[in-house]
Amino acid sequence: MSSDSPPDTVNPILTYGETTAPPDEPSSTVTSSYNASPSPVSTPPSTSLSWPPDGKLTLDWIYNLMSVFDWASRNLPPVNFPSVLPVSVFDSLVLTASKILHKEPNCVRIDDVDSDSMVVVVGDLHGQLHDTLFLLRDAGFPSENRVFVFNGDYVDRGAWGLETFLLLLAWKVFLPHRVYLLRGNHESKYCTSVYGFEKEVLIKYGDKGKHVYRKCLGCFEGLPLATIIAGNVYTAHGGLFRSIPATPSKRSKKKNRRISLTPEINPFSLGSLEELSKARRSVLDPPWEGQNLIPGDVLWSDPSMSPGLSPNTERGIGLLWGPDCTEEFLKKFNLKLIIRSHEGPDAREKRPGFAGMDEGYTIDHTVETGKLITLFSAPDYPQFQATVERYNNKGAYVVLKPPEFNNPEFHSFEAILPRPKVQAYYDYEEVIDSDEELDLASMVTTPSDIIVST
């Protein structure tokens, strides 16, 4: 079976339309169409999943995983999820993936792409399993000549964050050098405790739920922060980050006494790739104060139309950076393009001066050296919405092609509807919006929160 050819059992209720791209356009847009049947599939594609005896995943195993997850989401109550994916299989998958992820650097350089390769960049998914399955089939599944970079936010808000995250972990295990999973701000203890993922896991795995949740958090800590594709394209969930000058400590003449000076942080100085490489990403929640600010900046920052760097007061963590900073970053590191995510239609509604997220992407800064793009891959977001009027946004992914891999081709797509009926795992009518100021006090890690990765 070819790695580019999906099996007939994947998303069997969907009929996909053809996609055509306008020729010779520097940043073309492709819209995908489909027809969905409202009737659920009544016959399961397979029985309970099991881990391969040799520990090596195959393409058929992953195809079956997709089919089983799709079928179960339409036919089984969430509490029956262990009958689909037993805890033992979950443990094997997460342990294997975590070992791979923790060995990757903070900023992964993807240089092994050639004239036969393409790179697919994906934005926020937020537990929208069926849209994720469509995206994978529409773009073409990962293969030796099709690299995928996911910009984070796999979980929360949507009802199938666990399935979405585990599916991508399986692809990572199968093709570790062709699938790259970055961390989003929602891959954290704070966000998952507020926006549904923790409750989702506890309901789906019952008395084993706490174990499963803690293993997921440990895996989140291993997710890299950024990629650089073909030396030309920087991708990260939120975006740019500040420089934090190292301040040496002073020792007094008295034995065993040390006086540490508080580091002076200049919020108007962009950080370097070297500083990014040295940041400590293995934290449950990225700090908003202290010396380890770079992970929080990379995950939570947003672009601005105003020049310079400034605190991101709306979110309470991270930075705002202007077009001048985009130009400085691109020029300093010989880059042509920045692809970030982090902002859906709800966030963009509150951002005067920026385009909306109707098509799943926006071009936010166009400067002399290149561009800054925001990419959002969850259509009809959020799944659960308090207002009757929905955003009805499309999702999108970007395809980068040789020789330079810096000329983005945008592929927009609509949501797979109707979605299976399911209850939300968070109070979407009352919960504070993640685009607003966070409850920072609840993000403080206590000793009991510490996870030891194995």
Assign residue 433 the CATH number of its domain: 3.60.21.10
Residue 82 domain flag: no
Residue 236 domain flag: yes
Annotation marks residue 102 as catalytic:
no
The span from the CA of 425 to the CA of 439, in Å, is: 20
Residues in contact with 69: Cβ distance below 8 Å, sequence separation at least 6, in sequence order = 84, 129, 160, 163, 166, 167
**Distance (Å) of CA 308 to CA 204, 260, 294, 360:** 45, 30, 17, 26
The span from the CA of 50 to the CA of 90, in Å, is: 9
Residue 42 domain flag: no
The span from the CA of 57 to the CA of 59, in Å, is: 7
Residue 250 domain flag: no
Residue 54 domain flag: no
Q: Quote the domain boundaries for residue 236.
A: 87-245+260-449
**Distance (Å) of CA 231 to CA 99, 101, 113, 145, 400:** 26, 21, 11, 18, 13
**Distance (Å) of CA 235 to CA 36, 222, 230, 295, 341:** 33, 17, 12, 14, 9
Residue 55 domain flag: no
Question: What pLDDT does 342 receive?
Answer: 98
Residue 431 domain flag: yes
- Give how many domains the chain has, as a whole number: 1
Residue 192, helix vs strand vs coil: helix
Question: What pLDDT does 46 receive?
Answer: 62
- Nearest CA among 133, 237, 148 for reference residue 185: 237
Question: Do the Cβ atoms of 52 and 93 come closer than 8 Å?
Answer: no
- The C-alpha torsion from 165 through 171 and 174 to 177, rounded to 10°, is -110
Question: What pLDDT does 221 receive?
Answer: 98
Kindly report the pTM of this predicted structure.
Answer: 0.88
Question: What pLDDT does 6 receive?
Answer: 42
- Nearest CA among 365, 361, 390 for reference residue 377: 361
**Angle at the Cα of 21 (from 20 to 22), degrees rounded to 5?**
125
The span from the CA of 317 to the CA of 251, in Å, is: 32
Question: What pLDDT does 15 receive?
Answer: 29
Question: What pLDDT does 245 receive?
Answer: 80
Residue 413 backbone dihedrals phi, psi, to 5 degrees: -150, 155
The string of pLDDT tens digits covering residues 339-398 is 999 999 999 999 999 999 999 999 999 999 999 999 999 999 999 998 889 999 999 999
Question: What pLDDT does 388 receive?
Answer: 87
Residues in contact with 151: Cβ distance below 8 Å, sequence separation at least 6, in sequence order = 121, 122, 123, 124, 182, 184, 235, 236, 237, 339, 340, 341, 342, 375
The span from the CA of 401 to the CA of 119, in Å, is: 7
Which position among 126, 130, 186, 411 bears the catalytic label? 186
The span from the CA of 364 to the CA of 372, in Å, is: 6
Write out the chain's pLDDT in tens, 454 residues: 334 444 433 333 332 233 333 333 344 566 654 333 334 445 666 668 999 999 999 999 999 999 999 999 999 999 999 999 999 999 999 999 999 999 999 999 999 999 999 999 999 999 999 999 999 999 999 999 999 999 999 999 999 999 999 999 999 999 999 999 999 999 999 999 999 999 999 999 999 999 999 999 999 999 999 999 999 999 999 999 999 987 655 454 444 545 444 555 545 799 999 999 999 999 999 988 888 999 999 999 999 999 999 999 999 999 999 999 999 999 999 999 999 999 999 999 999 999 999 999 999 999 999 999 999 999 999 999 988 899 999 999 999 999 999 999 999 999 999 999 999 999 999 887 665 656 666 665 544 443 433 3
Antiparallel, parallel or unpaired: β 34-36 and 118-122: unpaired
Residues in contact with 8: Cβ distance below 8 Å, sequence separation at least 6, in sequence order = none
Question: What pLDDT does 441 receive?
Answer: 61
Residue 9 domain flag: no
Give yes or no for a cis peptide into 382 (omega within 30° of 0): yes
- Nearest CA among 166, 178, 170 for reference residue 139: 178
